[in-house]
Amino acid sequence: MASAPTTTFGIVLRPARVGDENELALLEARVFEQDRISRRSFHQLIERPTAETTVAQHQGAIVGYSMVLFRKGSGVARLYSLAVDPASGRGGLGRILLAAAEHAAYEHGRMLLRLEVREDNPRAISLYEKNHYRRIGIEKGYYEDGVAAIRMEKLLHGEIRSTKVPFYEQTADFTCGPCCLMMAKAHFDPAYVPDTVKEIRLWRDATTIFMMSGPGGCEPFGMAVAAHENGVKSEIFVSQEGPLFLQSVRSHEKRRVMQLAQIDFRARIAEYGVPVHERAFVLDDIRRALKQGRLVMVLISGFLMFGKKVPHWVLAIDDDGDHIFIHDPWVEDEHGETAADAANVPVPYEMFMRMAQFGQPALRAAVMLGDKKRK
């Protein structure tokens, strides 16, 4: 359990508030030579409900802060920034602010706190390692000057679940499904290397590609066809009969083309002998597949995770008895996210089942993916 931070004499911890931006920006300039948070960004982050900033004051002046970001629908928090005024002379303040960040993450129900730290910053690395953070990866060229970032995490409660499933970030708004399929194929076949050309090729294989109002998305039958034709065993769960994703399509011609494409996908699924369950999946279906060594593409509503009512595919990769762990190919770069925020994300069961549906009436769809070489 992450306990509340203990302060030293003369230090006061409090939540940051609007009006602190100027002082925080000046502190940022004293601490960091580059990759600084601007005054405007501080203002936005202080007001953002998915961020929490704690400031440390000494004799009324801000001498340090820690900032934590919370991804919606996730069991992970991210330490976005931690700074201590080098002129403050307050030994141990970094540890106090780190404890404050951990406490904030724990109070928000997060089981993990993740962070990035400069590879050439041994003092900060030592602080994190002494406080039981473990290295989970490295991001080359992460900082403005090209220095790599070491990715670290600390378990606040529960059990650490490492994964061997590679992560791949989608490079287009409409390729979440193909990216999930690439991650699964790379897991089952280590010789397979995902890239942007394969990403678009799989999207072309799995979608209607009707371009009048933007690129098309991928429905479960198209994704299962693409999986089968690319050497990945598939099995479909879908709660609705007939063509999908047509409720908001007003163009008669577009509806006609999408329906014909989906008729073709279903015919090919029948030809390939891919199992189809015409019912909503339940949590036990997902857990059983994961226990069998399979991975599961799950259709979710993007609203709970990033505030957009769009269909979105994520890849379920593990289960710890309380959470489904997912790789989400969508990384919100404009909100300061990195792959560390979207990879191996623990989602509580209840939240997972709430987000694992789309539209009205609610559509539940999943594609179970397996290694064709395994019985």
Domains 11-155 and 176-371 share a fold: no
Sorted by where each begins, the domain ranges of the chain are 11-155, 176-371
**In sequence order, what DSSP letters do the residues of 316-375 get, joined into one string?**
EEEE-SSEEEEE-----GGGT--HHHHSSEEEEHHHHHHHS-BTTTTB-EEEEEEETT--
Domain spanning 11-155, CATH architecture: 3-Layer(aba) Sandwich (3.40)
Pair of tokens at residue 330: 């969508």
How many Å apart are CA 128 and CA 95, to the nearest integer? 9
CB 86 within 8 A of CB 31: yes
Interval 210-217 mean pLDDT: 59
CB 264 within 8 A of CB 308: no
* Residue written as token pair 């999986």: 227
Kindly report the backbone phi and psi dihedral angles of residue 74, in degrees, each rounded to the nearest multiple of 5, phi listed first: -120, 155
Neighbours of 80 (CB within 10 A): 21
108-131 tens-digit pLDDT: 888 889 999 999 999 999 999 999
271-327 tens-digit pLDDT: 999 999 999 999 999 999 999 999 999 999 876 666 666 789 999 999 988 889 999
Residue 170 has what pLDDT? 95
CATH fold of 176-371: Cathepsin B; Chain A (3.90.70)
Interval 14-27 mean pLDDT: 95
CB 152 within 8 A of CB 135: yes
Neighbours of 140 (CB within 10 A): 9
Residue 92 has what pLDDT? 87
**Helix locations, 21-146, DSSP H:** 21-31, 39-47, 93-107, 122-130
Residue 190 has what pLDDT? 93
234-253 tens-digit pLDDT: 999 999 887 777 666 677 88
Higher local confidence (pLDDT), 251 or 216: 251
How many Å apart are CA 206 and CA 208, to the nearest integer? 7
Pair of tokens at residue 204: 């072309």
Neighbours of 10 (CB within 10 A): 10
Kindly report the backbone phi and psi dihedral angles of residue 128, in degrees, each rounded to the nearest multiple of 5, phi listed first: -70, -40
Interval 173-180 mean pLDDT: 94
CB 11 within 8 A of CB 93: yes
